Amino acid sequence: MNSNSSSPLRLRVWRPYRLEKEYLDTNKNALVDVTSFQECLYSWEPFGDPFGSVTSSEQTQRLREELMEKFAPERPVDERGIENLKNAIKVMDYILSSKDNSSWGDSEDVGYLSNGENVNLRQHQLLALRQHIQWVCDTFVNVPGVNVSLS
């Protein structure tokens, strides 16, 4: 794999931060409101461009809106709940259901056959993204107050 290829996507799973102590906000002369603090539970950056296998520019835009805009870090935490990822999965399933909207592509990884020949390992970046987001949903769905950001 080429390590200097950066992904245009970073997925992070957050939960409300649990302070063990109470702190005084000296500006307000009151206890700090900890409800706005979040801690990162999980972070993932896919290798390459996960939108690269989407061949339809209309569907690429639709997917970007569903992921990048609805889960932007600047959006309120309550709008980025992990259950909202199910809508993104539906969009990905729709795109994947038509062979004209996405395709397999060559990867930078090479596999070796038993006879010593090498073969390019093909990948479907959207399918891999869909599977990973499904795993994130299944893994973190029962964590209280969990939310997701994509940037």
Cα separation, 125 vs 106, whole angstroms:
10
* CB neighbour list of residue 124: distance below 8 Å, 6 or more residues apart: 53, 102, 103, 104, 105
Task: Give the domain extent around 120.
Answer: 11-150
- pLDDT band, very low/low/confident/very high, at 122 (cuts 50, 70, 90): confident
pTM value is 0.80
Region 56-65: mean pLDDT is: 94
Token pair 């702190």: residue: 23
HSE of 23 in the Cβ direction (CA atoms, 13 Å)? Answer: 11
- The pLDDT of residue 4 is 40
38 lies in some domain: yes
- pLDDT band, very low/low/confident/very high, at 3 (cuts 50, 70, 90): very low
1 lies in some domain: no
Our count of domains for the chain comes to 1
100 lies in some domain: yes
98 lies in some domain: yes
90 lies in some domain: yes
134 lies in some domain: yes
5 lies in some domain: no
Cα separation, 102 vs 146, whole angstroms:
31
3 lies in some domain: no
pLDDT tens for residues 15-55? 998 877 888 889 989 888 777 789 999 999 988 888 888 99
Q: Picking from 3-7, 48-52, 104-108, 147-151, which range would have the lowest pLDDT averaged per residue? A: 3-7
pLDDT tens for residues 68-112? 999 999 999 999 999 999 999 999 999 999 988 988 887 777 888
